[in-house]
A and B are shown apart, each in its own frame.
Chain A
Amino acid sequence: MAKVTLIDTKARANEHAIDARAVNSKEARALYKKREQIYPKLAHGFFRNLKWAAMIVLLGIYYVTPWLRWDRGDGRVDQAVLIDFEGRRFYFFFVELWPQEVYYITGLLILAAFAIFLSSALFGRVWCGYACPQTVWTDLYIYVERAIEGDRNARMKLDAASWSWRKAAKKIAKHAIWILIAAATGGAWVFYFGDAPTLFRNIFTGQADPVVYLFIGLLTLTTYALAGTMREQVCTYMCPWPRIQAAMIDKDALSVTYRGDRGEPRGPHKKGDSWEGRGDCIDCRQCVAVCPQGIDIRDGDQLECINCALCIDACDDVMKKVGRPLGLIAYDSYANLDRRKQGNPDRYKLIRPRTILYGVLMAVVAAFMIYGLATRQTLALNVIRDRSPPFVRLADGTVRNDYALKLINMTDRARRLQIEVEGPTGVHLLAPALVLDGEVVAEAHADSVMNVRIHVVAPANIGAGSHRLRFTIRDIASGDVAVSDSAFLAGSTP
């Protein structure tokens, strides 16, 4: 048997002699290689704190939002944010959208797209580094892992150790907490689709809809898998964003950068040695140890790097210790790298044609949406003409057409709506059940669609063919008007 060793054990031993190995660096990751576990070390510093803060705020928003209440009046939904599929409404604080108004959601998505373009043009992958759910939940999972199993070295030792009760207990505890978090994630998700307090009670008493349990289960599974076991692979292999990223970033965009011009040539440094003729990087590999993506930032900008900036914190710590200026790894741009090469000072150009364009586009979309919401129509009319029979000839020779009217009242109060029709001379409404003081009036309930069957009668001499007809509904109290066009058909005499 031709024995081929897959992994060069000698090389591995060497690498372990050094504190950290970038398991995902280009050289280390052969095409057929299996995933290697990454053990990110805890970083300390400004960006780590910023990430903690972002995590608390974002998770807080996610978990708390469904529990916020918003008074919409008696008997109405009082959840501030709710996607009500059964009632076909979307509630967002003071906004209440009907299914035909989903274009607001489209506007929101366009806005979000421009926002992420803008943030990329300014600060690179800040979304990936701080706000992406994958990052936030992975960070949370690593936090739990660290709390139970210890920091990087302890975790590596534990994984290398043979099975013992102690190891099993730690592993079980970790996975149990992970699953709990995952279940809470899925649990919070369903609260966006139903009344949270009721649903909460029902979930625990087993009375909730099977679909609710299905979705909780599904999201528990995905959360556990994505944040617990897949982690950096999601960013590297599953997410399209790293590929799109390249198009969004230009020479002036800031991203986490190792300033090679200052750091090289790297090498170990003993206390008291001169810094003359060498770079500031002491090759301590702290930046690699903290990296959740398993890469070495000193290899340059990489697909895998999510710009979490933890390597900045790690390196700044080192720089403090060795007494060199901070920022060997920092948010920097390609343009600055070039400038320094030519001996020019750094320049941070946040305002560029690209960022101005994104900003303007965002403002335009936002203005459209605000205008749309501010002038939102709360009254609408749909007219559906009965097609069979196309028209009816009556005993007195007049011709009748029938219509189904949908009176859509999107306000939370009942409305009196006067129905009118305009068309060829002599055309008039016939709706005996709705006649009130000589006017055709319908009482539309709050927040509802009212179906009204209505007849239109035309004189005998209307003439064969199709005639234009316009229906109008008018809120008697407020004067709001909604209009819909339709047609009147008549045939020739028998």
Chain B
Amino acid sequence: MKLTKDILRKLIQAVAMTVPEEIGCDECFDKLSEFAEVKLAGKSPEKAMPIVADHLRKCGECREEYEALLAALKDLKPRLN
């Protein structure tokens, strides 16, 4: 496999962040609506659910979906409450 400097940096960053006990996308998904609600309540889901926060830092696709969910809930909140 050939690497460029940028890719090497990305790869080493990913390696540096690696911990043995990471959750996968499924487990993150299971917790995502709860995580988003805690965030919207102005509390810190990162503290309450650190392994989910860790996955969201590492997984771009889950992070993208989380941000969209947050935006959707923010938009709906005034109308639902």
Tell whether A pairs with B.
no
- Residues of B whose CB lies within 8 Å of any CB of A are none
- Residues of A whose CB lies within 8 Å of any CB of B are none
